[in-house]
Amino acid sequence: MFHSFNYLKNEKGYTLVEVLSALAVASIVVTTAMSLFINAFSTQVKVVQRNDIILELNYLINYMSRNLRMAQYDESGECGKVDSNYNQVKNSMVNTENQIYFKNQEGNCQGFYLDNGVIYQEIDQGDTTEILRLTSELIYVKTFKVVDPISSWERGDGKQPRVTFIIEAYHISDPDKKTIKLQTTVSQASIDAE
């Protein structure tokens, strides 16, 4: 009364071990593919963020450089010191390295300064003062430093006026807060002659 199990050998199908093995391999392939996709997406987001910062800071540096090159001598001292072309103080403000004021080509007192992670432009037209935000909400400016590299801001010192400024910023949605640091030096367009 022994029955033969030969009828199982004639059936077409898969054993439990084969099915589990196939599921394991498929799971590994799908998990790897998803991991690669997520990693590629994450990398793309970081690249776009870095590109946003670079484009915005490039525009900002070009805009500020253009304005700083056109600075005029401040003979009256309304933007800071008398007979100076660039100042880190405006009237009685505290002297800091994160701001610069100058008389622009229209004769108005103009300045750039850092306040709470944002770079602003201020133009004092006498009876009105216009303040304009120059960086977007997506960028946090960690550092804005302005220096006189060769002590050339005074009139008649025999040196062509020069400004060096450094900007360090990061994208606000970057959890690592990786910064991009840019520096440029600009000289005044008009010749320093007395």
Residue-wise pLDDT tens digits, 131-183: 999 999 999 999 999 887 767 667 777 777 888 899 999 999 888 889 999 99
Number of other residues whose CB lies within 10 A of the CB of residue 165? 21
* Residue carrying the six token digits 């133009």: 123
Q: How much is the pLDDT for 146?
A: 87
Position 35 pLDDT exceeds 60? yes
| Residue 37 token pair | 């996709």
Q: How much is the pLDDT for 154?
A: 72
How many Å apart are CA 38 and CA 71, to the nearest integer?
Answer: 50
Residue-wise pLDDT tens digits, 52-106: 999 999 999 999 999 988 888 777 777 777 667 777 666 545 557 788 888 888 8
Q: How much is the pLDDT for 172?
A: 92
State the pLDDT confidence band at 190, using cuts at 50, 70 and 90: confident
Q: How much is the pLDDT for 193?
A: 58
Domain ranges for the chain, please list them.
38-187
How many Å apart are CA 103 and CA 188, to the nearest integer?
Answer: 12
Q: How much is the pLDDT for 66?
A: 93
Q: Which of 111, 162, 172, 161 is nearest to 139 (CA)?
A: 172
With contact defined as beta carbons under 8 Å apart, do 72 and 104 qualify? Answer: yes
Q: Where are the alpha helices (H) located in the chain, listed in sequence order? A: 6-10, 16-69
Residue-wise pLDDT tens digits, 117-134: 999 999 988 788 899 999
How many Å apart are CA 134 and CA 41, to the nearest integer?
Answer: 30
Name the CA radius of gyration of the chain, rounded: 32
Position 47 pLDDT exceeds 60? yes
